[in-house]
Amino acid sequence: MNNVYPILFQPNLHTVVWGGDRLCPYKGLPSRQEPIGESWEVSAVPSSTSIISNGPLAGKDLISVISEDPVKFLGKSVAEKYNNKLPLLVKFIDAKRDLSIQVHPNDEMAQRVHGKSGKSEMWYIIDAEPGSLLYAGFKTPISEYEYKKRIADGTITDVLARHEVKSGDVFYLPAGRVHAICSGILLAEVQQSSDLTYRIFDYNRPGLDGKPRELHTELAAQALDFHVESEYRTIYKEDGNRANLVIDSPYFSVRVTDMTSTFHRNLTKYDSFIISMCIKGDCKIVVRSTGDEITLHEGNSCLIPAAIADYDVVPLTGTSKILDAFIDNKNRSLPHRITRFLHLSN
């Protein structure tokens, strides 16, 4: 195995007040007593960088490895556009309790105020307890004045769009869209590589330290998009043994593949790294040019460098479901596209 191969990572778990107990068993890890809410699967965020767990690069941090040869790992187009930095962060999230009502700034505001990238993201629901819901967007138009009034009197959720969810549901959350994951949901998240979140309302609960959690009412007011959409859920096809387009945004492209036999993925035309999240069932990834292979277990993720983005995915447990995230440099001149096909439930 050379230095360019499918990369696996050490666990990177985050304890939060709303976290649960599903991520460790989902990832095949020993259970923990503390509430684990997030698993940062592939991260080049300096505050919580992924550490490589396999091959010659084991023990090194992802930021350092990419900086040594950004074109091979990221792709020439990605390296040039994003200043040799990985532009995406992916997570698994387990919400045992409701998350705060929040919003993320766009690139312009984030750069102006914080000197960082903004955050647009998407959610893929892996599992949801019956009756589980989330908030995404406003259901009725409101003004900034009404927004601040409802924050003060605790009625902000009355004007948010509520969505009951099930496995396979997808929501795209562009920067500026108000949102919150609620209790009983396990999901995969793909987002711009940023840790900027403005907390709007947190149900007046204390944090893990027993103190009230910080709110960002004024910053959120500047970031919020008050526009009301007719549909917030992303509707898409889900054909078996096919890489189904789920999201094609200016910031990332996402495909989901439910496979029962060996599946060939040649993504070299996109000139991008690939992040593969194993949603269901173990699989093996075999690189065609080098023969390098890894086993990717359910609840885990890997980074496939752009230089070797021609590979086979082999299900090891009868069926496997993979979520792929990458940068689509082939069609970046096209306008933002969000698929709205018929969603066929499994």
Task: Encode pLDDT of 120-153 as tens digits.
Answer: 999 999 999 999 999 999 999 999 999 999 999 9
Closest by CA to 285, choosing from 20, 30, 43, 55, is 55
Domain boundary among 203, 234, 265: 234
Beta carbons within 10 angstroms of residue 122's beta carbon: 24
Phi, psi of 262 (to 5 degrees): -55, 130
Residue 253: inside a domain:
yes
- Whats the size of the chain, residue-wise? 346
Domain boundary among 234, 262, 283: 234
Shared domain for 182 and 81, answered yes or no, is yes
What CATH code is carried by the domain that includes residue 258? Answer: 2.60.120.10
**Domain extent for 328:** 244-338
Residue 344: inside a domain:
no
Residue 345: inside a domain:
no
Shared domain for 146 and 257, answered yes or no, is no
Shared domain for 40 and 153, answered yes or no, is yes
Angle among Cα 292, 328, 324 to the nearest 5 degrees reads 50
Per residue in 246-285, pLDDT (tens digit) is 999 999 999 999 999 999 999 999 999 999 999 999 999 9
Shared domain for 137 and 83, answered yes or no, is yes
Per residue in 220-229, pLDDT (tens digit) is 999 999 999 9
Dist CA 65 CA 85 (whole Å) = 11
Shared domain for 147 and 33, answered yes or no, is yes
Closest by CA to 118, choosing from 171, 173, 200, is 173
- Which pLDDT value is given to residue 210? 85
- Which pLDDT value is given to residue 345? 31
Shared domain for 223 and 252, answered yes or no, is no
Residue type, 205: R
Residue 343: inside a domain:
no
Shared domain for 223 and 258, answered yes or no, is no
Shared domain for 54 and 154, answered yes or no, is yes
Tokens found for residue 159: 């004007």
Handedness of CA 194, 199, 200, 201 (dihedral sign): positive
Residue 258: inside a domain:
yes
Beta carbons within 10 angstroms of residue 298's beta carbon: 17
Tokens found for residue 102: 């929040």
Alpha-helix runs per DSSP H in 200-320: 217-223
Domain boundary among 215, 234, 253: 234
Handedness of CA 38, 150, 173, 128 (dihedral sign): positive
The model's pTM is: 0.94
pLDDT band at 330 (very low <50, low <70, confident <90, very high): confident
Shared domain for 208 and 302, answered yes or no, is no
Total structural domains within the chain:
2
Residue 44: inside a domain:
yes
- CA 42 from centre of chain: 10
Question: Which residues pair with residue 188 across a beta bridge?
Answer: 92, 124
Residue 265: inside a domain:
yes
Dist CA 234 CA 154 (whole Å) = 29
Residue 63: inside a domain:
yes
Shared domain for 222 and 292, answered yes or no, is no
Shared domain for 56 and 97, answered yes or no, is yes
Shared domain for 62 and 195, answered yes or no, is yes
Per residue in 60-100, pLDDT (tens digit) is 999 999 999 999 999 999 999 999 999 999 999 999 999 99
Dist CA 311 CA 290 (whole Å) = 10
